[in-house]
Copies of this chain bind each other. A is one copy, B any other.
């Protein structure tokens, strides 16, 4: 395989980012870009040099030259497109979550498996320079056996009521990244989830049946305990930190900053806030995850984040959702058995 020929489905914020990264990679040709509103995007599309701009993603599935597709459309379209793409034998990169409905996710993954194609899920944080370093430390045994994994994940700002309503709720929209990170760093599966959630920031979350603040406890199969703290609004900016504590020590990563300046005056010691939000913080990670996907296709190697990773995070999200409703710890087994 000389060049990987790609079609992108969905040209919203994240679709645009992936497209621009793909266009700058010499080993890639972006042949199709599909979006229902593609006609209204001429400002952005006119100089991209993508041969086929279309409203219908099935055009690219019908093209035998296409090797892989990126699914960046709304979550409720994911499994339908995954199924169609798998049936057309295209490799798939799909944004997270695969779906809000476990039955749909399981069915889509089955089709993927039957056609022997690759599916990578968009947990780009695994490619972040900081979290990657934690992962390596744990893997190399630097901190021994993991006992406690702590994840802080706080957004600087929340979206509109319209978005919140359709977001799937904090577990699916926000914490799902942290579930994946917890699995990634401990290299173990979650057995039980307990969520202590609250609406402390804005009543709009209560109105949408959602929460804005949460502490989630996880029990892993290998005995480790995980804890995630989330907030929809950190006044000082995006807060993304991780610590893994184990039998031989701990490894921790702090936030990223735009500069290292400290200003010392009569008022105290000051430094600028961390990088503002996920586009700034995970700028490199977004690029690296797509490069990794392309490289997996070129090398015919397994992708770094696969369909099962997507599935496991969704199982945890469902358990978290139930834990919030029932105010009790919920096992993954309980969720799984309902779909067996």
Contact = CB atoms under 8 A, between A and B. Distances in A.
A264 to B, nearest CB: 4
Interface in A242-265: 245, 247-256, 258-265
A200 B147 contact: yes
A198 interface: yes
A47 interface: yes
B272 A133 contact: yes
A17 B250 CA distance: 32
A201 B247 contact: yes
Given A148-B229, A245-B234, A260 B270 contact: no
A266 interface: yes
A154 B30 CA distance: 44
A206 to B, nearest CB: 12
A104 B143 CA distance: 43
A231 B143 contact: no
B213 A265 contact: no
A137 interface: yes
A311 interface: no
Given A223-B198, A227-B215, A235 B261 contact: no
Copies of this chain in its oligomeric complex: 4
Interface centre among A154, A198, A258 (most CB of B within 10 A): A198
A328 interface: yes
A107 interface: no
The range of chain A's interface size is: 35 or more
A225 interface: yes
Contacts of A26: 47
A214 interface: yes
A150 interface: yes
A259 B127 CA distance: 12
A137 B260 CA distance: 13
A253 B217 CA distance: 23
A227 B150 CA distance: 10
A213 B249 contact: no
Contacts of A265: 142-143, 235-236, 248-249
A130 B260 contact: yes
Interface in A122-153: 129-130, 132-134, 137, 142-145, 147-148, 150, 152
A259 B130 contact: yes
A273 interface: yes
B260 A154 contact: no
Contact of A329 (B47, B227, B327): B327
B134 A236 contact: no
A245 B231 contact: yes
A326 to B, nearest CB: 10
Contact of A194 (B134, B245, B247, B329): B329
Interface of A: 24, 26, 47, 129-130, 132-134, 137, 142-145, 147-148, 150, 152, 154, 192, 194, 196-198, 200-201, 213-215, 217-219, 223-227, 229, 231, 233-236, 239, 245, 247-256, 258-266, 268-273, 327-329
